[in-house]
């Protein structure tokens, strides 16, 4: 299990495999805007379905606690704090997997604010759980858990890219 602090400046968090992402585009140059390619073409759907990118989209900017764990590891987050669940995302790791603010896709800058996850090469089913703890009407703790299950083959994508993953806001 690994825990990270991710500073979000561009409305999302991505877990991605940089080797496969580079192969998908043949070449990625410094400052390339991959985000624009993802939203203006079907490239975004393709990289998610192929297990190259696992995104959390449309979240507020801020500092998020992110936990990366194997499905067999006990969660440090009490079940009653889980407020949203989104699965299954496919993930394929051939060399390494990186966790980063989605802004990396807006202006490609290798290794800049990349967080190494140390996930073994292989195919994974990824479940994303959003959590929030509210004390005295104040959000005291919030973030996401990426729960990984190793698979023989790449699983199908059944998660929703439009699911509301907000965890920083007070409940209605």
CA-wise closest residue to 24 among 45, 39, 4: 45
- For the chain, the structural domain boundaries read 2-151
pLDDT in tens, 35-45: 999 999 999 99
Question: Which architecture characterizes domain 2-151 according to CATH?
Answer: Sandwich (2.60)
pLDDT in tens, 65-89: 999 999 999 999 999 999 999 999 9
pLDDT at residue number 171: 78
pLDDT at 5 over 80: yes
pTM above 0.85, yes or no: yes
Model confidence at 129, pLDDT cuts 50, 70, 90, reads very high
| Stretch 50-57: mean pLDDT | 97
Rg (the chain; Cα; Å): 15
Question: CA–CA separation, 42 vs 36, rounded Å?
Answer: 11
**129 with 84: CB under 8 angstroms?**
yes
Backbone angles phi, psi at 56, to 5 degrees: -115, 115
Question: CA–CA separation, 53 vs 102, rounded Å?
Answer: 10
């Amino acid at each position: 299990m690994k825990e990270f602090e991710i500073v979000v400046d561009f409305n999302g968090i991505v877990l991605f495999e940089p080797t496969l992402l580079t192969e998908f585009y043949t070449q990625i140059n410094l400052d390339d805007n991959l985000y624009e390619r993802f939203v203006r073409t079907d490239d975004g759907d393709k990289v998610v379905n192929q297990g190259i990118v696992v995104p959390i989209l449309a979240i507020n900017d801020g500092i998020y606690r992110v936990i990366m764990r194997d499905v067999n590891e006990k969660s440090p987050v009490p079940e009653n704090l889980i407020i949203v669940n989104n699965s299954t995302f496919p993930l394929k790791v051939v060399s390494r997997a990186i966790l980063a603010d989605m802004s990396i896709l807006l202006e490609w800058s290798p290794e800049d604010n990349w967080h190494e996850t140390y996930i073994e090469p292989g195919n994974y089913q990824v479940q994303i759980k959003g959590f929030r703890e509210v004390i005295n009407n104040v959000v005291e703790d919030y973030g996401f858990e990426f729960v990984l299950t190793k698979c023989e083959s790449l699983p199908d994508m059944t998660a929703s890219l439009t699911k509301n993953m907000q965890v920083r806001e007070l409940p209605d």
